[in-house]
Amino acid sequence: MEACVEPRSDYEHEEDGNEYTKFGNSNSGGLKISDQIDLDDDSTITLKKNSTTRPINWSVKKKLYYTSIYGLITFAAQLNSTTTTAEFPDEMKHSFGIGREVSLLSTTLYILGIAFGPMFFAPLSEVYGRKLGVMIPFFISALFTFATAISYNVPAIMICRFISGFFSGAPIVSSGGVLSDIWLPAERGKALAFYAVFVSSGATFGPVISSLMVESETSIGNRWRIPLYFSGLLDFFLLGISVLTIEETYEPVITSKIAKRIRTCTHNWTIHSKLETKQLSRDEIISVHLVRPFAMLATPIIFIIALFASYSFGIFYIFVTTCSEAFYITRGWENTEGTLPNVALFLGVVLGCGTNMLGANDYGKKVKLNGGKALPEERFQIMMKLGWLMPAGLFVFAWTQYSNIHWIVPCIGVLMLGCGFVTVFQGCLNYLVDGFTGYSASAIAANTFLRSLFAAAFPLFGKQLMVNLGVHWGTSLIGFVALGMIPIPFVFYRYGKQIRSKNPYGEKSVV
Buried b (16+ CB within 10 A) or exposed e, 394-433: bbbbbbbbeeeeebeebbbbbbbbbbbbbbbbbbbbbbbb
- With left for phi above 0 and alpha for psi between -120 and 50, is residue 372 left, alpha or beta? left
Under a CB-based contact definition with an 8 Å cutoff, are residues 261 and 460 in contact?
no
Tell me 38's DSSP state.
E
pLDDT (0 to 100) of residue 94: 83
Summarize pLDDT for 18-41 with one digit per residue, the tens: 444 444 433 334 455 656 777 776
pLDDT in tens, 371-418: 777 788 888 899 999 999 999 999 999 999 888 899 999 999 999 999
What are the respective helix, strand and coil percentages of the chain, to the nearest 5? 75, 5, 20
- Expressed in angstroms, the distance from the first to the final Cα of the chain is 51
Distance separating alpha carbons of residues 48 and 418, to the nearest angstrom = 42
What pLDDT score was predicted for residue 22? 47
CATH of 60-248, one of 1.20.1250.20, 3.60.10.10, 3.40.50.2000, 1.10.287.1770: 1.20.1250.20
Report residues of the chain scoring pLDDT below 70. Answer: 1-35, 41, 217-221, 276, 279-280, 285, 288-289, 506-511
For the entire predicted model, the pTM comes to 0.83
Is CATH 1.20.1250.20 what the domain over 281-511 is classified as, yes or no?
yes
DSSP state, 62? Answer: H
DSSP letter for each residue of 221-287: TSTTHHHHHHHHHHHHHHHHHHHHH-----HHHHHHHHHHHHHHHH--TT-B-TGGG----HHHIII
254 and 45 Cβ atoms separated by less than 8 Å: no
Assess contact for 320 and 343: CB atoms under 8 A: no
Domain boundaries, the chain: 15-54+249-279, 60-248, 281-511
pLDDT of residue 218: 64
CA angle 203, 205, 207 (to 5 degrees): 85
Do 281-511 and 60-248 have the same topology in CATH? yes
Length of the chain: 511
Tell me what pLDDT residue 430 has: 85
